[in-house]
Structure 1
Amino acid sequence: MENQANPFEQFKLNRQLLDAIADAGYTEPTPIQEQAIPLAMAGHDVLGIAQTGTGKTAAFVLPLLMKLKYAQGADPRALILAPTRELVMQIAKAAEELGSHTDLRIVALYGGVGPKAQIEALRQGVDILVTTPQRFLDLYAKGEIVLKHIKTMVLDEADKMLDMGFMPQIRRILEVIPTKRQNLLFSATFQEKVEKFSYEFLEFPM
């Protein structure tokens, strides 16, 4: 490490993100980060097979933060779908931590609580939307989510989403979001249904 103060500098991240990485105490990129970050930053569709706890959240959050750079407009430019409320909260927390030196606005949507506070947050403007499929569709149906600026979509724990029966919701979401976008798919396992779905969702994935 003599020649580099921060091993994350290899990813050509900006100073705001490098400072946040240092604040968070990350020292070495994990294998999934080393592989996924450069591909995601280059604009490729990415298929990542990674267990929880391997640093995969940062593997998609850092490229997103880098791409979006600063708050802009009122409508989300990145959409992250996750199967459970816990995971949505975890991803949003990681995004806030890694984006702490930026003014990017992260909003988490999930069920189990009334939608009022979440609608308020959306109306104040959002750059990155982290959400469960059903709550997303509920608020989209109410006209609270504008999708035309979405440039990146991430599906996290795809295997769990398919196991939990979210396929119809995910298909509905794919019907309404802009087709010209970058897609990232993360899954702990690469079972047959994930593989089938990846062909539908990803274009020439790396």
Structure 2
Amino acid sequence: MSGDGFQSFKGQFLLAMPSMKDPNFSRTVVYLCEHTAEGAMGFVINRPSQLMGCLDIYKEFELDHGDEAINVPVFTGGPVQLDEIFLLHGPPFDYEGTYPMGDDVALSNSMETLAAVAKGKGPENVAIFLGTAGWAAGQLEGELIGNVWLTVEAGVDLIFDVPVEKRWENALGRLGIDPALLSGDFGSA
């Protein structure tokens, strides 16, 4: 926490509480790529895209692709910038427009990275996101105070290795919380 009382959750995961009413975020896990006093941005990592698959994206950008790249997962990253494509990926991080988020994951939205992924020559761990999740200054902090989200420091295996349908429960388990016992109702004593 800095001297002004702001605590950044960059590089952590947000877990939607059962009380989350917004259908864009119900039972979601969001990886936060940025979180400053000016706002936050991340990607929903457990909402497979119903609009496009990786082959649709390769075709859209006229990218040659190899057989090893036909199963790259595509997610609806959030309701903001739905016309933008982003990649979260593991090493290597030497592609143009790649921003490391730590030692194990980077963010990219460069055509160079996407073309390498399509050819099967890109990072081994990769996921494509359509759109982002975003919060204005103070918005995420207010939602955290209002018990809309839980935060968890978890490894990037949650993005690349845990089956999509188990990510929310898996992340809760890392906090020692049984999802069956988690209530969406809050009150005061």
- Indicate the TM-score class for this superposition, using the shorter chain for normalisation: under 0.3
TM superposition score normalised by structure 1: 0.25
TM superposition score normalised by structure 2: 0.27
Higher strand share: 2
Higher helix share: 1
